[in-house]
């Protein structure tokens, strides 16, 4: 159970609060084989929609705006009968708007996407028996080497998490360090966690698991998480690469497997 700080303060003034972890909360975060298989199916469907969108985006000859792109991605997802709705409000952000981590395009903020803009799109779908969450950062024109180098460092951090040896890297804070390693070498960083738990056709942010600084929760087989390092230059651009991954155990080896197609 969770509530706002205001309600918590009211409760504290009247009763003594005992904080304990609900065991069901932990059990729910560990997906069984049937759930994983269905989540994989949902990601195949979602992958088709995202690929169609990326192709359309790169070939589009008419004026592109953030809201137009967001609407087109929803159109491609809706073409599949097993799609029910979006798993959260799409972040369709170009140029300086991409540096706003939880940006939402509105009629007032809606930007025309220019050829030299970096475009960040963070979106997800609720399909029958599966939730998706994916971010891709793309552009329509060659970028300066400095920006390409930053993108590469974000990508290397993303790959480092996916390839982590979970027999050795057993808690989430160490995974977070791996994600930031290549950015930190150049004194770069990002002001959010590297990953969050994802529900099975439930809330796209599901506890109690996460990949974040100081978070000691152990990652276990069946956990589904996002893997989303990034970099944000205020007033300039945003870069984020996100896949969903899950923990699998084969014999004595524990490792991540990609869900996002």
Does position 1 have pLDDT exceeding 70, yes or no?
Answer: no
Q: How far is residue 199 from each of residues 55, 61, 196, 223, 225, measured CA to CA in Å?
A: 29, 38, 10, 9, 9
Of the listed ranges 6-10, 154-158, 215-219, the one predicted with least confidence? 215-219
What SS3 state is found at 31?
coil
Tokens of 5: 């700080």
Is-above-0.85 flag for pTM? yes
**Residue with token string 């998490």:** 161
Cβ atoms of 129 and 38 within 8 Å: the answer is: yes
pLDDT digits (tens, 9 = 90+) for 42-61: 999 999 999 999 999 999 98
Cα-based angle 151, 181, 247 (whole degrees, multiple of 5): 90
Cβ atoms of 79 and 51 within 8 Å: the answer is: no
**What is the reported pLDDT for 115?**
93
**What is the reported pLDDT for 3?**
81
pLDDT digits (tens, 9 = 90+) for 163-204: 999 999 878 999 999 999 999 999 999 999 999 999 988 789
Residue 81: pLDDT band (50, 70, 90) is very high
Does position 238 have pLDDT exceeding 80, yes or no?
Answer: yes
């Amino acid at each position: 159970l969770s509530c706002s700080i205001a309600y918590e303060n009211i409760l504290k003034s009247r009763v003594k609060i005992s904080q304990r972890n609900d065991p069901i909360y932990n059990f729910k975060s560990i997906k069984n084989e049937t759930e994983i298989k269905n989540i994989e199916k949902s990601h195949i469907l979602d992958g088709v929609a995202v690929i169609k969108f990326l192709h359309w985006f790169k070939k589009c000859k008419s004026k592109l705006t953030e809201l137009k792109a967001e609407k087109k991605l929803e159109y491609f997802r809706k073409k599949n009968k097993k799609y029910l709705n979006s798993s959260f409000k799409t972040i369709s952000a170009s140029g300086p708007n991409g540096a706003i981590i939880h940006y939402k395009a509105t009629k007032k903020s809606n930007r025309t996407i220019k050829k030299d803009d970096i475009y960040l799109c963070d979106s997800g779908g609720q399909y029958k028996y599966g939730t998706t969450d994916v971010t891709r950062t793309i552009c329509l024109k060659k970028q300066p080497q400095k920006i390409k180098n930053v993108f590469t460092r974000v990508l290397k951090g993303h790959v480092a998490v996916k390839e982590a040896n979970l027999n050795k890297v057993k808690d989430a804070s160490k995974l977070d360090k791996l994600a930031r390693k290549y950015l930190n070498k150049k004194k770069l960083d990002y002001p959010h966690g590297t990953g969050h738990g994802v529900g099975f056709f439930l809330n796209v942010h599901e506890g109690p698991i996460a990949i974040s600084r100081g978070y000691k929760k152990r990652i276990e087989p069946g956990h589904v998480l996002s893997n989303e390092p990034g970099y944000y230059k205020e007033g300039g651009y945003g870069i984020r690469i996100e896949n969903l991954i899950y923990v699998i155990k084969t014999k004595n080896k524990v490792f991540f497997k990609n869900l996002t197609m």
